[in-house]
Structure 1
Amino acid sequence: MKFAKYTLVKVALLLVCSACGQAQADWALATDPLAVRTLPDNRQIQPQNPPSFTWSRHPLSPASYVIEVKLAGAVVSTFTSARNWYLPSKKFAAGTYNWRVRPSTSNEWSSPRTFVIDATSKVFEVPESSTLRAAIVLRPRPRGLEDNATFFASWSAAKRADRTQVLTWLSTEVIRNMTAIAPVSDAEWPLSPGKVRTAANEAQNARVISRTNQSARQLEAASLLYRVTGENQYLVEAIARGDQEAALSPNGGTSFVNHDQGNRAIAQSLIKAVDNLGSALDAPRRAAWLEMVRVRTNAMYLDLAAQTGRLDQYPYDSHAASNIGFLTLISTLSLGDIPEAKDWFDFSFRAFVSSYSVWSGPEGGFANGTAYAEYEADYALQIWPALAYATKVDLFTKPWASGFLDYLMHFVPPGSQTHVFGDGHETLPEIRMMKGFAAHFATPAAAWYYKNLIRTDDSLATLQAPYPLPVATVATPAPPGNSAYYPSIGWAAMHSDIGNLQRTSVYFKSSPYGSFNHSHGDQNGFVLASAGVPLLTESGWYDWYDSPLWSSWYRQTKAHNALTFDNGQGQLVDGYETTMARNGRITAFAPKATVDYVAGDATLAYGGQLTSALRKLWFLRTTDAVVVQDQVTSATPRVFEWNFHTYAPIVVDAGGAISVTNQGRKVCVVPVSTGARFEKRTGPPPQPGTYEEHGVFIKSAAALSGEFLTVLDVGCKKPLIKLGKSGTARTLTVGKQVVTLPN
């Protein structure tokens, strides 16, 4: 996503305050920050045509709503929806539209809102559910595979040349795991944790997801190999694994209540195996497997359908937001075999494809962090291809999907050693997820990313991908732009040269999602890496969600490269209802050939403890240095602090110069402002086998305001650094580059 082409900057600037300027009397605009946003709005250019319409529910909960769309003052479309969202099935002509919505039982119209369809709006039409269902049940099994994906004997010479090695890899894996993976059993998880979080419960939850994922992959892979090769050994293995999963109690440790992720893995792998094996599965066994799919999926459906579709009004539930995708695919593959599948499908399909992700706007970022974006790519590879074959609705062609790939390229570029921002930021990226996702796009940037992610393809995902891979059709790979801004999540990426593995990378965040869900109290935080090696990074590790470590350190501001005060006090991260409202925002982003500039405002994140918290950051591409300016004020005197963290020793030489060297990459931290001392601080023990240090610049006395001005000299080249004036403005010279500083 090159910023020069960024018409989408207009699209999502007001995601969290989606109807600022509208009267509070407008019933369609919720005051609850966790409620659904009323969109489209604010004359936003829609990347998707037709757009999805969403609004907050009317207080009287009518049975349906009427949506009216006008063009040039004339009504051009009227829709009726039983839920508080609607996805038209046909595209709109180019133009500037107004829309409003009312309960079907009254004329209480919402305030009108405006959106734009233009030449950049990509057509993504989805037929009505009844039309899709009728076509799906007529499709022969396997529904979830490409039409020409069956028996190896029918593959073309070109396909054999391309996919035989992949087939061999998957065969080797499945044969090895016939003995390497023990049968799953209820005896492995004796606890019934429900939603109670303790160390013992979380340890069992980790075992459940690990073992059910192992079993699910083996079952799916064996059934696929039988479909492709016809070899009996794979049928025997698939039957054995399917019988083991079907024998697990839907009320035990893998129940929906105890572990929704394990529950959905079992249901999805069983229905995929039923689809792949077809008539090779005997009738009694097929009925038993389908019954287990029915019981487990119905539990998932009843949870999602509560309050007539609880995600419709309150979408910010990370597990539920993933579960609806699994429900969509399971229902699609179950139609005609499980009576309840019709209700599952009608409830989930259009809802899932309508907006897809609540963790970003339409430009495709992911506010929960790149570790969770990796999981999202994994889910997409499990769900989207099979869904496309069965329904002919390809989510890889949805505008959000291409933006999500751009985001992965910018924040997890080739060579990255860690993720950034949010839970799991310290983990090594699982490259096969990103590579597999990129394989579905026929663009130069996708081809560059795919080529430079040095890892063998995931054989199961590749064998189920279209042939030829879309990415393989690109003649000339080319990297994306060096700089990118994702306005709806408040993230910016700046690279010296993204196409060069020796690049310097700077990541900045000031997010309207605040510290909600898997996000942290790191508004106005940044991360600095060189050749993928973390230099100034985030600290702590993700033992489990809501653990003592997670609460007391990992997500706290003091664990990030951000401002605190009075011995580590920072942004307010407690309180489910308030963390999204305590947020940040990027107020400026200006990329240029030699310097990138980004500014953030994290005042709200501090929950009234500070009256302003502003950070401005310049990435001096020519000098390979970063200038960071922080300006902070408070109604009461505070001792302000500038924190940074490393995975290597922080060295202070005899002259007071501060440097960090990690894996041969180096940065010097040069304070320019005066009146602060440096000290090292201690944190909790790092993850076993890792190393962390924590540094902080501390103002010498409590004050109502303060400024930190810091230069990060990548490579420790020691350029001349000089603070001066140009007229009334202050200037900072770093080598041959000059920055004009706000006063």
Structure 2
Amino acid sequence: MKSSKRPLLRAAWLLLLPLCGMAQADWVQSSEALAVRPLPDNMQSQPQNPPTFTWSRHATLPSAYVVQVMQGSVVYKTFNTSRNWYLPPNSFPAGSYTWRVRPSTSQEWSSPRNFVISSNSQLFEVPENATLRNTILKKSRPRALPSGTKLFSAWTSAMRTDRTPALNGMTGEVKYNMTALKTVADSEWPLVSTGVRTAALVAQEVSIMSRVNPNARQLEAAALMYRLTGEKIYLDEAIRRGDQFSALNLAGPTSFVNQDMASRVMAQSLIRAVDTLGSALVVNGDATRRNKWLSVVSARTNALYKDLSANGGRLDQYPYDSHAATSMAYLTLTSTLALGDIPEAQTWFDFSFRAFASSFSIWSGPEGGFANGTAYGEYEADFALQIWPALAQATGVNMFDKPWSRGFAQFFMHFLPPGQQTHVFGDGHERAPEYRFMKGFASRYATPQAAWYVKNLTRPDDVLATLQSPYPMPVNTVTAAATPPANAAYYPSIGWTAMHSNLADSGRTSLYFKSSPYGSFNHSHGDQNGFVLFSGGVPLLTETGWYDWYDSPLWNSWYRPSKSHNALTFDGGIGQNVAGYEEPLARNGRITAFSTTPAVDYVEGDATLAYAGLLKSAVRKIWYVRGTNTAVILDQFSSATPRVFEWNFHGFAPIVADSAGKISVTNQGRSVCIVPLTTTAQRFERRVGPPPQAGTYEDHGVFVKAAAAISGEFLTVLDVGCKNTAVRLDTSGGLRKVIVGTQTLTLPLPK
């Protein structure tokens, strides 16, 4: 992930605001694309009860705000807050509400906004800070582990049956790493950051994380094994790993300035070890080691807090920062476990906990999903498994109960079903999923859908996360039959759809489509109206390139642009706008229609804005005909100036054009034939991309219109399995129909 590029611009904006005169009429709605949006709004039924209220800061930068919630003409509640968000500690009765907000220093109320609490709104209450702190301080250590965590010798027979495999796995891992895993030292990394991201500096940053992460896991795992077994070898190993972190130079290569991700990991692993080991770190009344570890936690976490609390809490106003959002999670857990031992921890906690708990991820709406792509969704699941269970044990607030979190689990079921070989959309799309994280996340839900997903993921559980969790796992309490979610799904806030032939079938066809309001912002790509196709988990029509590092030459020239995706380009590969920092968020796509029936799924996307004014329209329509396992794709486009339009497609296996003009891709015994139903002259061409990642293969093809034009269309059929499905175009009677087998699809006429 990557930190924001705009801290200086943001600081300048904040300094200039008082000079701007009167605020705009509805001041809570900022004109900046990256600013927080006023919510809830538009009479939307709230998935979460109570909802979080958010708004953009007032130009006078007041120290406090007043939030007023109305039922009809009656004031239901009035809240006071020092931040530009507020999460009420208690739920609302079902009904319709209106809310508005003003600075505490004036009567300049915002425009009223409406929302609904329905019977379907899920309860998620977070007490105020003082109440939370009292709960935490009353809990005996280890706070991060389930209450009453016992030695293995005291486990029940049922728990032994369930958890012994994880304990054996953890035993083997920790003992192996006692000798195989080298401790870290400052001397390994000679470079110092100058603020310029060079390839050498990036390589060092990666090296630091590749060394710190396993050492942090070893520290936490050894401490846990000592707690579960009482064996001194694990205490000695935990002390050795903790001492290595406490010996590092706080201003050296692993400092917050030079590698903030490593710094936050070490602070969290040290405080977790302090929490887990408890009095074992104090020998004959000597707390020198414990105090040293705590001083390192304090120094590293103060640097993290200073960064996040800048400008009154920089994420409050500018939440679209994936890196900082993850840092907020680390700050939340570290402060929770440090309360009572580090004086500054109360300040950290009061700043972070309710802010973290109040918001669903900025990368989707409350229905779940992850606009940055499933690879970064996987990383989010990993972070959640490291942090959320410990927070639940210490505070009683379970982040897995948030409506967003439940939707996030189902998002994985739809876009990373069991057996799929790669991720989809965004940075890291070419990588193989590490299913233990998705399995661990889904295990926290007692639903038939979660039971289906977990049952069909053959990857072993993460043994550390399992042993840190309460017994039994929620998914193991499901008595109903394991059942997958629906075969088709639409996630409106991220603009993604999934269309499966049969989600329960491991040989399923999976067709994914994206036209996202997030555009190519952050870790997303210039692939609005793009699609990817799998058969039996095998990628057939794919995205290409590989993620070497964020903002690399390859990332900018090939990996993100439209020409490396199954998307529309023109005039030799010109595609959607992916340049700049803020602009790609506004240069976006949107799904304008979606429907699903047992026979046909349909989605329509409009990517016009993504082309940054170069096109007048760019609309893609896809019909997935389930009975014949066939997709029909219609692209219609127009431009103010004549252009030669191109329909790009790619594979991880050769794109074969035989003597009869039949075009196909066959990968691992799975195939698709790409059949153009031409309405105007076009030709097939091969394109050349940069060398693929070592050990992989990529091929690139494109249908190119024969001549430049101001408008046109591509009409293409994907015959999965190359079954020679009967497909014909019927234009009789002034209508246009595509007959696929026995299914008739009515298409719009050419424009």
Q: TM-score range by the shorter chain?
A: over 0.9
Checking the alignment, whether the CA contact within 8 Å between 1:660 and 1:667 is kept in structure 2 is: yes
Equivalence for 2:12: none
Q: What CA deviation, in whole Å up to 9, does each residue of 1:404-453 have, x standing for no partner?
A: 00101100000010000000000000011001111111000001000101
Equivalences for residues 643-722 of structure 1 within 5 A: 643-673=648-678, 674-722=680-728
Equivalence for 1:568: 573
TM-superposed deviation, 1:134: 1.2
Equivalences for residues 340-739 of structure 1 within 5 A: 340-475=344-479, 476-673=481-678, 674-725=680-731, 727-739=733-745
TM-superposed deviation, 1:150: 2.9
Task: Note closer, same or farther for the CA distance 1:237–1:194 as it changes in structure 2 (3 Å cut).
Answer: farther
Between the aligned partners of 2:588 and 2:741, the Cα distance in structure 1 is: 35
Equivalence for 2:120: 120
Checking the alignment, whether the CA contact within 8 Å between 1:65 and 1:101 is kept in structure 2 is: yes
Checking the alignment, whether the CA contact within 8 Å between 2:417 and 2:453 is kept in structure 1 is: yes
Aligned partner letter, 1:120: N
Checking the alignment, whether the CA contact within 8 Å between 1:328 and 1:348 is kept in structure 2 is: yes
Aligned partner letter, 1:313: Q
Checking the alignment, whether the CA contact within 8 Å between 2:381 and 2:438 is kept in structure 1 is: yes
Aligned partner letter, 1:293: V
Between the aligned partners of 1:194 and 1:135, the Cα distance in structure 2 is: 44
Q: What CA deviation, in whole Å up to 9, does each residue of 1:11-55 have, x standing for no partner?
A: xxxxxxxxxxxx972100011111101100011110000000000
Equivalence for 1:306: 310
Between the aligned partners of 2:472 and 2:164, the Cα distance in structure 1 is: 13
TM-superposed deviation, 1:726: 5.9
Aligned partner letter, 1:163: R
TM-superposed deviation, 1:646: 0.2
Equivalence for 1:14: none
Q: What CA deviation, in whole Å up to 9, does each residue of 1:89-144 have, x standing for no partner?
A: 00000011110111111111111101010011000011101101012112110000
Between the aligned partners of 1:356 and 1:714, the Cα distance in structure 2 is: 37
Does residue 1:317 correspond to 2:298, yes or no?
no
Between the aligned partners of 2:197 and 2:601, the Cα distance in structure 1 is: 43
Between the aligned partners of 1:78 and 1:111, the Cα distance in structure 2 is: 16
Equivalence for 1:331: 335
Equivalence for 1:187: 187
TM-superposed deviation, 1:153: 2.5
Checking the alignment, whether the CA contact within 8 Å between 2:335 and 2:345 is kept in structure 1 is: yes
Which consecutive unaligned segments of at least 5 residues does structure 2 have? 1-22
Does residue 1:270 correspond to 2:267, yes or no?
no
Q: Percent of aligned positions with the same letter in both sequences?
A: 65
SS at match of 1:648: coil
Equivalence for 1:6: none
Equivalence for 2:241: 241
Checking the alignment, whether the CA contact within 8 Å between 1:57 and 1:84 is kept in structure 2 is: yes
TM-superposed deviation, 1:196: 2.3
Aligned partner letter, 2:449: A
TM-superposed deviation, 1:257: 1.2
Moved over 2 A (4+): 193-196, 725-729
Aligned length: 721
Checking the alignment, whether the CA contact within 8 Å between 1:522 and 1:557 is kept in structure 2 is: yes
SS at match of 2:356: helix
TM-superposed deviation, 1:456: 1.1
Picking from 285, 290, 294, the partner of 1:286 is: 290
Q: What CA deviation, in whole Å up to 9, does each residue of 1:448-483 have, x standing for no partner?
A: 000101111110000011100100011221111101
TM-superposed deviation, 1:156: 1.6
Q: Alignment RMSD, CA only?
A: 1.0
Equivalence for 1:72: 72
TM-superposed deviation, 1:578: 0.7
TM-score, normalised by the number of residues in structure 1:
0.96
Checking the alignment, whether the CA contact within 8 Å between 1:637 and 1:704 is kept in structure 2 is: yes
Between the aligned partners of 1:668 and 1:65, the Cα distance in structure 2 is: 60
Checking the alignment, whether the CA contact within 8 Å between 1:267 and 1:296 is kept in structure 2 is: yes
Between the aligned partners of 1:742 and 1:465, the Cα distance in structure 2 is: 54
Between the aligned partners of 1:728 and 1:654, the Cα distance in structure 2 is: 35
Between the aligned partners of 1:209 and 1:742, the Cα distance in structure 2 is: 53
TM-superposed deviation, 1:335: 0.1
SS at match of 2:32: coil
Q: What CA deviation, in whole Å up to 9, does each residue of 1:52-80 have, x standing for no partner?
A: 00000001101111111011221101001
Checking the alignment, whether the CA contact within 8 Å between 1:651 and 1:659 is kept in structure 2 is: yes
Between the aligned partners of 1:742 and 1:690, the Cα distance in structure 2 is: 40
Checking the alignment, whether the CA contact within 8 Å between 2:27 and 2:56 is kept in structure 1 is: yes
Checking the alignment, whether the CA contact within 8 Å between 1:28 and 1:55 is kept in structure 2 is: yes
Equivalence for 2:16: none
SS at match of 1:637: strand
TM-superposed deviation, 1:255: 1.1
Which consecutive unaligned segments of at least 5 residues does structure 1 have? 1-22
Q: What CA deviation, in whole Å up to 9, does each residue of 1:484-518 have, x standing for no partner?
A: 11100000001000111000000000000010000
Equivalences for residues 34-49 of structure 1 within 5 A: 34-49=34-49
Aligned partner letter, 1:621: R
Between the aligned partners of 1:585 and 1:27, the Cα distance in structure 2 is: 26
TM-superposed deviation, 1:194: 5.4
Task: Note closer, same or farther for the CA distance 1:159–1:194 as it changes in structure 2 (3 Å cut).
Answer: farther
Q: What CA deviation, in whole Å up to 9, does each residue of 1:547-592 have, x standing for no partner?
A: 0000000000000000000000000100102110000000011011
SS at match of 1:668: strand
SS at match of 1:579: helix
Between the aligned partners of 2:718 and 2:195, the Cα distance in structure 1 is: 44
Checking the alignment, whether the CA contact within 8 Å between 1:194 and 1:259 is kept in structure 2 is: no
Equivalence for 2:7: none
Checking the alignment, whether the CA contact within 8 Å between 1:166 and 1:459 is kept in structure 2 is: yes
Between the aligned partners of 1:427 and 1:245, the Cα distance in structure 2 is: 31
TM-score, normalised by the number of residues in structure 2:
0.95
Between the aligned partners of 1:195 and 1:151, the Cα distance in structure 2 is: 49
Between the aligned partners of 1:356 and 1:294, the Cα distance in structure 2 is: 28
Between the aligned partners of 1:279 and 1:615, the Cα distance in structure 2 is: 63
Aligned partner letter, 1:143: R
Between the aligned partners of 1:130 and 1:737, the Cα distance in structure 2 is: 63
